[in-house]
Each structure stands twice: as C-alpha cells, then as structure tokens.
C-alpha cells in the first residue's frame, strides 16, 4: 500500500516536472498554488464524504462564501460608503431582520397559547410572510441607496488577507450549520439535490446583492498576503523571476496551511473521534445504539468540512485577485472536487490530496493538450484535402468538461475505491 502511494506520488512529481518543462515555470507555479487550494477543498469534502458519508453537492456555495468573505475583510475601506447614510440604513435593515426572526420564532411557539395543528401551520406561514415583507421593506431602499449614492457598495475592511481566510472559514461554518440543521435528516440523494439547491440560492444572492459584493461588476484587485510581483519588480527584479518569486512565496504560505490542516485531520481520523465517525458512516443504526448522537456528530462533521471549503475558496480568490460571482459554475466548483476525491480515494487524506493535485493538473492541461491534438489532426486533414477543423480554440476549451466526465466514469468502473483507497484497520 505504502509502495503504491509512493509510486503514485512519484509519478505526480514527474508530471509536475514535465508540465513545468513544457509550459514554463510561471504557468506551473500558478497552477501549483491553485492545486494547493483545491487540495484543501478536497480535504474538506473528504471529511464530509470519506469520514462521514455525507453527500454535499453544494461545494460551490461554500467556495463563493469564502471568496466573498476574503473580499470583505481584505479589500481596502470604501470611505464614501461609511460617510453616507448607508451604514445607518443597513442597521435598520438588520433590525428589521431581527424583528422578523422574533416574529417567526414566536409563531413557532404558538402552541403554548392553545393554537395547534393547522392553525399553527397557517400562523407560521403568515409569520414568515410578514417577516419577509418587513425585511424587504427596509433592505430594498438601503440597497438602492448604496448602489446609487452611497459609494456603490459596502467595500472592505482593509485587514490582512489571512484574517480574511479565517473569516471565510467562520462564515462557511455558520452557513454549514444552518444548512446542516435543515438538510442532514435527508437521505443521500435528497441531500445531494437539497445542497445543490442551496448552493444555487447562495450563488443567486451573492451575484445579485450588488450593494454587498458588487455582484457581476466584480471586485479587484484583492490584496495578497505575501509580496506581489510588482513589489519585487520595484526592487529591481525582472518580470519573469518576480512572477516566480512572488508565486513561490504564496505557494509556501498555502503549503503551510495545507500541512497544518493535514496534520490536524489525520490525527482526528486516527483518534477516537475518527473511529466514531467511521462507525456512524458504516452503520449509523449500530452507532446510535451504542449511544452516539448521530445527528449532532454529522452536523459537526458537515461544519468542519465546510470550514476547509471556505478557507480554500478564500485562498483561490485572493490568489487570482478578482472576485467574480458569475465565474462560479457547478461543473468547475462542485463536480470537479467530487471527481478529485473519488479518483484519489475517499476516506484517505493522502488519496484526496493526490486526486486534487492530479485532477487540477489534468483539468488545466487538457485544454492546451486537446488544442495540440486538434492542431495535429487539422494539419493532417488539410494535407489529405478535407480542410481544417474550424474554431480549434473554442472547441479545445470545451474538451476539459468531456475529459472530466470520462475520468469519473472510468474511475467508477475500474477503481471505485480510488487510486489510494482507504485503509481499513481491523483491531483485535
């Protein structure tokens, strides 16, 4: 088993070297930073799916939450907003939200004053409606005001990006708690559909709340936690080596985060907590008969996994320096992660790590590779008198979706447990 893992990681290293040699160091260093962030996200999914057997198909939503969080924390302050009536109006909207929440909570306690059954249901619906109208009546003017006169959007806080990453994790945890409370009672495929639905709701909100996230107008440039290439160039370095130096700095920071997370979750996996989680995953009825609180533990693991997704999403956004809500797609940000974990090996952290790096490289390389193949075929067909293939650029950009689908179907058919499968220890 160890030998096989080492051989696979050795192969991956050779692949990285080949890509570095063919595509150049600046390209490869960027891809490696992204691969590190994706590895963090894949570890998050591995906790949820591999340890806990939870079917989270809403990864995209958590990545977006992380990205919005790091934008909010690390982007420079927008003085125009803070000097306007905007904060005051937002405060009123928050107050309306709180009152709405109180109304709903009160309606849910209606049985105490003797309203039960259908009447209570009707009252709850009515309370939700009143709360919604109340909140909208305060938020809509505030949003319209901020977007037109109050500085365009809220802006950031100007704090250090690493704080933004942490906040991304915290925010993702909060949302995961709510989502988990709502959905975790559902069976697997219902859970998958419900989480996809929730991630689409999150995407619609972030995309359209222009006053908070600037929506489709996008936010850039988001600061880096490490020195930028421009900083190195100011010190007299040439462009190519400044790119490499800056990205190497970012990569080191990302790898440090990754190593800490890896150490923590590996310890958790082999400890009593991890054993309990696997017991729940394999037979939750037996686990609950041993006195384990299955619902609470599953909620716990859902929140932990989502924290990593939030942090990973934040790292990606601060690396590319732009937060563009319309660039988030379920294929790139949910299904890709699933393929990473399944191909790598669900339940095994090294497998998830391996799958993340491998699949990210396959994902980014399949476009230039298929372009090369198309160019070759086109050259051949032109010589044979059949004419060239039209629109090679656009077509090869679509090839990676096909490659991703192919990889996952092959993996499910021939290596359903992944390339580095989970090691099942049998004690005693």
Partner 1 sequence: MTEIIFFINQVVISGLVLGCIYALGAIGITLIFGILRFAHFAHSELMTGGAFIAFLLASAFAAWGIATPIPTGFVVLPLAMVLAAILALGIDKGFYAPLRKRGARPVTLLIASIGVTLMIQGLIRLFFGAGSYSFFENEPKEIFRIDTSAIGSTRPLVITEPQVLMIVVTLASVVALHFFLTRSRLGKAMRAMADNADLAQVSGINTALVVRVTWVIAGALACMAGTMLALDVTLKPDLAFNIILPIFAAAIVGGLGQAYGAIAGGLLIGFAETLAVFNWTMLFRPLNAILPDWLQLPAQLALVPTEYKLTVAFVILVVTLLVRPTGIFKGASS
Least distance (Å) from partner 1 to the CB of residue 409? 4
Least distance (Å) from partner 1 to the CB of residue 187? 5
**Measured from the CB atom, is 174 or 197 closer to partner 1?**
197
Listed ranges 8-16, 200-208, 248-256, 271-279: which one lies at the site for partner 1 (CB under 8 A): 200-208
> Can you tell me which of 116, 148, 188, 230 binds partner 1, judged by CB under 8 A?
188
**Measured from the CB atom, is 176 or 257 closer to partner 1?**
176
Helix 188-208 / helix 59-74 crossing angle, nearest 10 deg: 30
Give the 3-state secondary structure of residue 335.
helix
Listed ranges 14-22, 223-231, 285-293, 398-406: which one lies at the site for partner 1 (CB under 8 A): 398-406
**Measured from the CB atom, is 52 or 223 closer to partner 1?**
52
**Measured from the CB atom, is 183 or 257 closer to partner 1?**
183
Residue with tokens 């020195």: 227
Exposure string (b/e) for 251-277, b if CB count within 10 Å is 16 or more?
bebbeebbeebbeebeebbeeeebebb
**Measured from the CB atom, is 7 or 125 closer to partner 1?**
125
Least distance (Å) from partner 1 to the CB of residue 139? 11
Listed ranges 11-19, 151-159, 287-295, 392-400: which one lies at the site for partner 1 (CB under 8 A): 392-400
408 binds partner 1 (CB under 8 A): yes
One-character DSSP codes across 177-203: HHHHHHHTTS-HHHHHHHHHHHHHHHH
**Measured from the CB atom, is 129 or 379 closer to partner 1?**
129
One-character DSSP codes across 55-70: ----HHHHHHHHHHHH
One-character DSSP codes across 78-100: -HHHHHSSHHHHHHHHHHHHHHH
> Can you tell me which of 384, 391, 425, 426 binds partner 1, judged by CB under 8 A?
391
Exposure string (b/e) for 109-133, b if CB count within 10 Å is 16 or more?
ebeeeeeeeeebeebeeebeeebee
Least distance (Å) from partner 1 to the CB of residue 170? 23
Residues 6 or more apart whose CB falls under 8 angstroms from that of 76 comprise 155, 156, 158, 223
186 binds partner 1 (CB under 8 A): yes
Rounded Cα–Cα distance for residues 310 and 261 (Å): 13
Residue with tokens 């958590």: 62
154 near 211, Cβ under 8 Å? yes
Tokens of 246: 């800056």
CA-based nearest residue to 280, from 269, 292, 268, 271? 292
Q: Which residues between 155 and 184 bind partner 1 (CB under 8 A)?
A: 182-183
Q: How many residues bind partner 1 (CB under 8 A)?
A: 42
402 binds partner 1 (CB under 8 A): yes
φ/ψ region of 114 (left if φ > 0, alpha if ψ in -120 to 50, else beta) reads left
Site string for partner 1, 54-93 (x = CB under 8 A): -x--------------------------------------
Listed ranges 80-88, 168-176, 187-195, 238-246: which one lies at the site for partner 1 (CB under 8 A): 187-195
208 binds partner 1 (CB under 8 A): yes
255 near 38, Cβ under 8 Å? no
> Can you tell me which of 272, 394, 424, 428 binds partner 1, judged by CB under 8 A?
394
CA end-to-end span of the chain, whole Å? 21
Residue with tokens 């929440």: 101
**Measured from the CB atom, is 85 or 140 closer to partner 1?**
140
> Can you tell me which of 79, 221, 271, 405 binds partner 1, judged by CB under 8 A?
405
Helix 272-282 / helix 239-270 crossing angle, nearest 10 deg: 80
Listed ranges 5-13, 25-33, 192-200, 315-323: which one lies at the site for partner 1 (CB under 8 A): 192-200
Question: Which residues of this protein are in contact with partner 1, per CB under 8 A?
Answer: 55, 182-183, 185-190, 192-194, 196-198, 200-201, 204, 207-208, 331, 335, 338-339, 342, 391, 394-395, 398-406, 408-409, 412-413, 416
């Amino acid at each position: 088993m160890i030998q096989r893992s080492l051989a696979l990681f050795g192969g991956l290293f050779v692949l990285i070297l080949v890509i570095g040699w063919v595509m150049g160091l600046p390209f490869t260093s960027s891809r490696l930073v992204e691969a590190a962030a994706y590895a963090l996200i894949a570890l998050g999914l591995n906790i949820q799916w591999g340890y806990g057997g939870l079917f989270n198909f809403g990864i995209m939503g958590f990545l977006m939450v992380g990205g919005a969080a790091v934008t909010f924390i690390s982007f420079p302050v927008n003085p125009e907003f803070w000097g306007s009536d905007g904060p005051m109006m937002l405060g009123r909207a928050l107050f309306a939200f709180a009152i709405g929440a109180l109304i709903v909570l009160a309606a849910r306690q209606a049985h105490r004053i003797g309203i039960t059954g259908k009447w209570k249901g009707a009252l709850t619906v009515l309370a939700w409606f009143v709360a919604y109208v109340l909140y909208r009546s305060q938020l809509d003017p505030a949003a319209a005001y901020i977007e037109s006169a109050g500085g365009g959007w809220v802006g950031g806080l100007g704090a250090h990006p690493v704080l933004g990453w942490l906040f991304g994790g915290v925010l993702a945890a909060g949302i995961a708690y709510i989502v988990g409370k709502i959905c975790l009672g559902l069976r697997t495929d219902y859970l998958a559909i419900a989480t996809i639905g929730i991630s689409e709701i999150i995407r619609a909100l972030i995309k359209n709340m222009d006053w908070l996230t600037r929506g489709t107008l996008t936010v850039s440039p988001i600061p880096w936690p490490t020195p930028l290439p421009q900083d190195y160039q100011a010190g007299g370095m040439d462009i190519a080596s400044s790119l490499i130096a800056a990205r190497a700095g970012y990569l080191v920071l990302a790898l440090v985060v990754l190593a800490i997370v890896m150490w923590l979750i590996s310890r958790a996996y082999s400890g009593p907590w991890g054993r309990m989680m696997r017991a729940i995953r394999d037979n939750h009825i037996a686990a609950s008969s041993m006195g384990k609180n299955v619902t609470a533990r599953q909620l716990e693991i859902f929140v932990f996994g989502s924290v990593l997704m939030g942090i990973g999403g934040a790292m990606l956004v601060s690396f590319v320096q732009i937060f563009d809500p319309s660039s988030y797609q379920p294929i790139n940000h949910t299904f890709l992660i699933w393929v990473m974990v399944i191909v790598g090996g669900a339940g095994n952290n090294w497998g998830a790590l391996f799958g993340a790096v491998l699949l990210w490289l396959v994902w980014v390389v399949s476009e230039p590779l298929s372009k090369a193949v198309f160019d070759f075929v086109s050259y051949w067909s032109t010589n044979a008198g059949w004419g060239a293939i039209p629109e090679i650029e656009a077509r090869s950009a679509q090839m990676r979706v096909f490659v991703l689908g192919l990889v996952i179907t092959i993996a499910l058919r021939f290596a359903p447990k992944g390339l580095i499968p989970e090691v099942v220890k049998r004690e005693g």
